[in-house]
Amino acid sequence: MKRKHLAALVAAAAVTLAACGGDDSSSSNETSAPAETNAPAETNAPDTSLSGSIFVSGSSTVEPITAAVAKLFSDANPNVAITVEGPGTGDGFAKFCSGETDISDASRKIKDSEAEKCAAAGIEYVELEVAIDGLSVITSAENSAIECVSFGDLWVLLGPDALGRNNWSDANDAAEELRAAVGTDLGTINAPYPDAPLTITAPGEESGTFDSFVEIVLGAGAKATEAEDDLPRPDYTASPNDNVIIEGIAANATSLGWVGFAFVEENLDVIKPLKVDGGDGCVEPTPDSIAGGEYPIARSLFIYVSKNKLAESPALEAFVDFYLSDAGLAVIGTGAGQVPYVPLAAPAIEATRAAWAGR
């Protein structure tokens, strides 16, 4: 299965990355590219003078990007040990704001409550946008009955009032009521739905992918219907691990769920991304539709770097310099060997680099 590519990359990053220097962890393949004059300096030859350790935690969505950058950096700096893990954006911020980690991967912006915890602990940070993701609504590759879902469909299938609707057709009456109440404000509602089991596997509350889906999709449903609750139905299989979600979706022919775009691109043999109608018609998640804003469930991906840790770690500063260099950001894309998210446009890259330079 294509899932093996991302799974192997993430597994390699879950341990300390160091090519030598007495560390007993795995090495990585070296890649480099010339930097532009306005980009941070890049490391092209092994530098044994730089040493130390870097601990990155947070979003499982951003984890493959950071893991790929870490593998390249570790080859060039074999005495710097880098650990990358992906328990989820929320769990990552909890560690970050307690001073446990150097960098927090995040598939959403830090919440006010999390920022307050960082401030209370004296943790200062710089927020850096690194890529764009399109949250992808998915089903099994075997499911030929569904091709497009609207925000309205997702509200009646996944919203707080969908509890107990264990067959797609169980949502038919609710869909008709929603159509009468809001028309096409939430996109074209595609009921009646097939008479088939509805098996849902999706991110849990610790995931930034969960938060983004609630904010963009279910938040729109709650606003249109004046509902008090925008959280998804609680009776679904939740996991912070995108590969577990892919396996759950693939195992059930009439499944439904959502993950980040990269995990879709790596698993098209077993899952199918659905077109999404946010009010302007059905749009397929593609790099072009996500980058251009046509796909209605797009979001930015970030890394948060601890200023406290920077003060005591030359290796951390060098790693982030490399991350934001042309060679570092080149790991993102849909070409062979890249992590298949959408690269930032040039103005956004310059804004990120400016934020880092002005820290």
Question: SS3 letters for 178-211?
Answer: HHHHHCCECECCCCCCCCCECEEEECCCCCHHHH
- pLDDT bin (cut points 50, 70, 90) of residue 25 is very low
Give the single-character DSSP code of 274. Answer: P
The first and second tokens of residue 342, run together, are 């959408």
Report the pLDDT value the prediction gives residue 48, as an integer from 0 to 100: 74
The answer to whether the Cα torsion of 293, 299, 305, 306 is positive or negative is positive
- pLDDT bin (cut points 50, 70, 90) of residue 3 is very low
Task: Using the predicted structure, report yes or no on whether residue 17 has a pLDDT greater than 60.
Answer: no
Task: Name 201's Cβ contacts closer than 8 Å, sequence gap at least 6.
Answer: 236, 237, 238, 239, 244, 245, 248, 249, 252, 255, 257
Mean pLDDT over the full length of the chain: 89
Nearest to 81 by CA among 163, 162, 168, 21: 21
Q: C-alpha distances in angstroms, 123 versus 66, 79, 88?
A: 21, 27, 20
- pLDDT bin (cut points 50, 70, 90) of residue 76 is very high
349: region left, alpha or beta (phi > 0 left; psi from -120 to 50 alpha): alpha
pLDDT in tens, 33-68: 323 334 555 545 566 789 999 999 999 999 999 999
pTM score of the predicted model = 0.79
Report the pLDDT value the prediction gives residue 127, as an integer from 0 to 100: 98
Task: Using the predicted structure, report yes or no on whether residue 5 has a pLDDT greater than 50.
Answer: no
Report the pLDDT value the prediction gives residue 240, as an integer from 0 to 100: 87
Domains and CATH numbers, the chain: 3-132+300-357 (3.40.190.10), 136-296 (3.40.190.10)
Give the single-character DSSP code of 22. Answer: T
Task: Using the predicted structure, report yes or no on whether residue 26 has a pLDDT greater than 80.
Answer: no
Tell me whether the omega of the peptide bond preceding residue 273 falls within 30 degrees of 0, making it cis.
no
